[in-house]
Amino acid sequence: MAYEEMMASLPDAMKQAGIGKGDMLYIASDASLLLLEARKKCGVKTVEQRNTFLHYFIDVLQEVVGTQGTLMFPVFTWAFCHGEGFDARRTLGEVGALNNWILEYRKDFCRTKHPLYSFMVWGKEANTLLSMENKCAWGENSPFSYLYHNNGKMLLLNVMVSSNIRACDLARKMHIKPQEVNRIIDLQHNTKIDTIDSAMKALGKNLQLTVV
């Protein structure tokens, strides 16, 4: 199977999840699960094949949200808390290999300034996010606040890939309407923590909260 064929259903799956043109999208994912599927189905093994596959994957995401949309990949790191310096182009994140791959290989993305909670961003709102000088990671002038106030959405892509599940499938597992699943992934909607926990359990995952 060619990776183009493997990715062919992704735009439709995202559409069913309520994601489309003009959306501001926070992508929470890890390349390991995605690449495992690519290795099994498409024979992606070498570094060159991996890079070609991931470039195509990111291009598909860009096409889904369009030039009026925005993509945000978290590149969070807590090294600064231990006295290490922060370099927006060189300091690696601690929250996923895909995000660090974007840092290294996708020059059409840029990194926001916060030394702990930074993002690789692309799209319409990229310049706004890059100009933020927020000292508080979660405050009113932060990317998180901007996501909330601009109807941002979150894509848990690693869970979707590993579970091979669509929004309608998750709704069926949770015994709820598909519209309710759309609200769960909508950052503008105040979803109860027990609802998120139920969604994770339906996907065979455990929700864990860590205070740092």
- Give the model confidence (pLDDT) of 128-175 as tens digits: 999 999 988 888 899 999 998 998 998 876 655 555 566 677 778 888
Q: Which two tokens stand for residue 142?
A: 């932060």
Per the CB < 8 A criterion, the answer to whether 206 and 171 are in contact is no
Calpha distance 135→113 (Å, rounded): 9
Per the CB < 8 A criterion, the answer to whether 44 and 97 are in contact is no
Q: Which two tokens stand for residue 197?
A: 């926990």
* Residue 97 pLDDT class (50, 70, 90 cuts): confident
pLDDT of residue 177: 83
Q: What is the pLDDT of residues 6-19, one digit of tens each?
A: 788 888 888 887 89
CA distances from 134 to 1, 71, 155, 161 (A): 45, 19, 24, 34
Per the CB < 8 A criterion, the answer to whether 168 and 192 are in contact is no
Tell me what the pLDDT averaged over the chain comes to.
84
pLDDT of residue 9: 82
Per the CB < 8 A criterion, the answer to whether 148 and 154 are in contact is no
Q: What is the pLDDT of residues 39-76, one digit of tens each?
A: 888 888 899 999 999 999 999 999 999 999 999 999 99
pLDDT of residue 81: 86
Q: What percent of the chain has pLDDT over 90?
A: 44
Nearest-5° angle of CA 148, CA 154, CA 156? Answer: 155
pLDDT of residue 202: 74
Nearest-5° angle of CA 2, CA 31, CA 126? Answer: 105
Calpha distance 122→3 (Å, rounded): 23
| Chain centroid to CA 193 | 19
pTM of the model: 0.76
Q: Which residues pair with 110 in a beta bridge?
A: 121
pLDDT of residue 62: 97
Q: Which two tokens stand for residue 20?
A: 């489309």
* Residue 37 pLDDT class (50, 70, 90 cuts): confident
Nearest-5° angle of CA 87, CA 150, CA 102? Answer: 35
* Residue 212 pLDDT class (50, 70, 90 cuts): very low
